[in-house]
Amino acid sequence: MSTARESSPAPAAPAASAAPATSPGTTERAESRKPVILAVDDDPQVLRAVRRDLRSAYGDRYRVLGASSAADALKILDSLDERGHDPALFLVDQRMPDVTGVEFLLEAVSRFPDARRVLLTAYAETDAAITAINRVRLDYYLLKPWDPPHERLFPVLDDLLSDWLATYRPAYDGIIVAGHLVSPGTHAVRDFFTRNGQPFRFLNVERDPEALTLIAAQPDGALPLVRFPDGSVLSAPTDTQLAQRLGLATTASRPHYECVIVGAGPAGLAAGVYAASEGLSTLMLDSRAPGGQAGTSSLIENYLGFPSGLSGGDLTRRATIQASRFGAEILHPVEVVSLTRDDPAKILTLADGTEISAETVLLATGVSYNRLDAPGADRFEGAGLYYGAATTESSACISQHVFIVGGANSAGQAAVHFAKYAARVTILVRASSLDASMSRYLIDEIERTPNIEVKVRTTVVRLDGEEHLERLTLHDAQTGRDTEIPARFMFTFIGARPHTDWLAGVVERDEYGFVLTGSDLIANGGELPAEWSLERAPYPLETSVPGVFAAGDVRAHSVKRVASGVGEGAMAVSLIHRYRSMG
């Protein structure tokens, strides 16, 4: 049986029992089922303080254990392993007499690689922290003392435990997806669940007996089949049907908003956080799921403040929770099909005919990768050919030969990710090297990874197969020769096109469809667009329609990086405030 281990929102913490009386045995069993937080410190006074603080904040949801030496801590890990219990977090002192904290974590994470790791230091031991980050993927290091804990300890641990819960998989009784391992329909369903942070278990109909049992109970159902915990089954469901079953919000709570954000990638999410936190009635709309292209990234290692990196899914989940906490509404999957002016308001029309009025609009719809221009590409999309990282398919790529097309950072991140699963990863690059388009840290990591190879000046000219991709024809520009090779999985990252067709005739765009803003709107002669209705010039990030702004990858001449998208999203909100106060 193959199990999808996709990122998901943190499940609700187990509630403390409200029953007036429980037997001691019941209480002990409930306590033993809690995930474990393990604190290790050789100073008895510090260990008592750590356990006291941890129990006060997390004792209702976690079992807090302590050890005064690495040897005692390893015995606890042995016991947890024997009982099949998973520790959620290690909080370990660096300076212990028997072994260092880093040395203990090396042993601990080899047994429990998913547990989060925090190092305690008596002072700023930068070298130890860097060593821990590199050797054990340290999540955080804290200086002692951490008083007050509600400011210096709990916020850090809250984030780490939320991350752990997002990937924690206890005994499974949730959603099951049954379908062919490689098929467009199955990929669409799995990708929908993955991008929306919904855990599920995948059953391969060609291999899993349980899948055949499910199919037998639905003889007329088209694949894939999706069974929910209540026993109901959907056959070849659409995104809308899945959204309804998951209870995703797809209807706005009011007809008019002060700020509507179209697109929930890094730029849109950042704008949502700032707009809502500053008191604007804020609505975010996304046609698929929050995160955009960045949300599919397996690991972003050069994002400020995360020295060990974080996945696009983690970044998306945190930002979505943050925006919601400040009061932003997030609707998805909801497609916007038109924007019209009803000055001073703007009217957004959704695919179902619903109209939403906005005082200001931020366009943050991002981009999607260009389609491969080769015979067979359309036929095998979702059946061996995927656009973007498609980490949904990671488990399917175990022991396979995976091809990555493209030479930018997204391609490099995907290659490093799939190298953990595939027997071999080949990067196909049209250019003569990766140097011009990929960050140095990724190039170095690719060179260090033995099962990744790079083929330069190589393009895909044909895809062949029966029900799914089976063969590629590659053209070598250096030799002029075409070579046919076996292939089952290919992921492409070539160029990008903006999602702006629905803006044609309303908002000015460049020849490639990217939205023009600010000074880019002024023609060569210094004239503003004819449709511009104000005496002032457009603000930075403002489009040809006053009060409509653009941020992130969809904007012409933007820097295509997660950090710059976040920055533009935040900047757009300050400009929205200026527009609302000054016009």
Verify that 160 and 186 share a domain, yes or no.
no
DSSP state of 539: P
Instruction: Write out the H or E segment, with its range, that includes residue 83.
Output: helix 70-83
For residue 437, give the CATH number of its domain: 3.50.50.60
User: Is-contact 203 1, C-beta < 8 A?
Assistant: yes
**Residue 150 class from Cβ within 10 Å (0-12 exposed, 13-18 middle, 19+ buried)?**
exposed
Strands 458-465 and 452-455: unpaired
- CA dist 371 and 42 (Å) reads 58
- Reported in sequence order, the residue ranges of 256-400 that DSSP labels E, i.e. its strands, are 256-262, 282-285, 329-331, 336-342, 345-350, 355-363, 367-369, 385-387
pLDDT of residue 17: 31
pLDDT of the residue at 125: 63
Question: What CATH number is associated with residue 226?
Answer: 3.40.30.10
C-alpha 206/C-alpha 211 separation (Å) is 8
Judge if 349 and 448 occupy the same domain: no
Residues 116 and 61 in one domain: yes
Same domain assignment for residues 75 and 162: yes
Q: Which residues pair with 532 in a beta bridge?
A: none
Residue 77: CATH number of its domain: 3.40.50.2300
Residue 542 belongs to some domain of the structure: yes
Q: What is the pLDDT of residue 400?
A: 93
Q: What is the DSSP letter of 459?
A: E
How high is the pLDDT of residue 23? 44
Q: Are residues 157 and 42 in the same domain?
A: yes
Residue 504, both tokens:
């044609």
Q: Which residues form the domain of 396?
A: 385-494
Q: What is the pLDDT along the chain (583 residues), one digit of tens a residue?
A: 333 333 333 333 333 333 334 444 444 555 667 899 999 999 899 899 999 999 999 999 999 999 999 999 999 999 888 887 889 999 999 888 888 888 899 889 888 988 999 988 876 566 776 777 777 788 888 887 778 888 889 999 999 998 898 877 665 678 999 999 889 999 999 999 988 888 898 999 988 888 988 998 888 889 999 999 999 999 999 999 999 999 999 999 999 999 999 999 999 999 999 999 999 999 999 998 999 888 888 788 888 888 888 888 889 999 999 999 999 999 999 999 999 999 899 999 999 999 999 999 999 999 988 999 999 999 999 999 999 877 778 888 989 999 999 999 989 999 999 998 999 999 999 999 999 899 999 999 999 999 999 999 999 999 999 989 999 999 999 999 999 999 999 999 998 899 899 999 999 999 999 999 999 998 756 788 888 889 899 999 999 999 999 999 999 999 888 999 999 999 999 999 999 998 7
Pair (352, 269) in one structural domain: yes
Say what the pTM is.
0.75
In a shared domain, residues 89 and 157: yes
Q: Quick one: pLDDT at residue 219? A: 81
Domain boundary residue, one of 472, 494, 516: 494
Backbone angles phi, psi at 546, to 5 degrees: -55, 135
Tokens linked to 355: 């109209």
Q: Which residue in the block uniquely carries the two structure tokens 């008592």? A: 48
Structural domain contains residue 83: yes
How wide is the angle at C-alpha 147 spanned by C-alphas 142 and 150, nearest 5°? 90
Residue 7 resides in a domain: no
Q: Which of 427, 420, 402, 386 is nearest to 190 (CA)?
A: 386
- Residue 316 inside a domain? The answer is yes
Q: Tell me how far CA of residue 352 lies from CA of 285, 340, 348, in angstroms.
A: 14, 16, 12
Residues 115 and 185 in one domain: no
Q: State which of 207, 236, 265 marks the end of a domain.
A: 236
Q: Is residue 558 part of a domain?
A: yes
Write out the two tokens for 5: 């281990």
Q: Are residues 329 and 223 in the same domain?
A: no
Spatial separation of the C-alpha atoms in residues 570 and 149, rounded to whole Å: 30
Q: Are residues 149 and 118 in the same domain?
A: yes
* The dihedral sign for the CA sequence 230, 233, 237, 241: negative
Q: What are the residues whose beta carbons fall under 8 Å from the beta carbon of 172, sequence distance 6 or more? A: 3, 199, 201
Q: Is residue 243 part of a domain?
A: no
Q: Does residue 2 lie in a domain region? A: no
Does one domain contain both 446 and 547? Answer: no
Position 378 in a domain: no
Q: Are residues 519 and 567 in the same domain?
A: yes
Q: How many domains does the chain have?
A: 4
Which of these three, 115, 133, 167, is where a domain ends?
Answer: 167
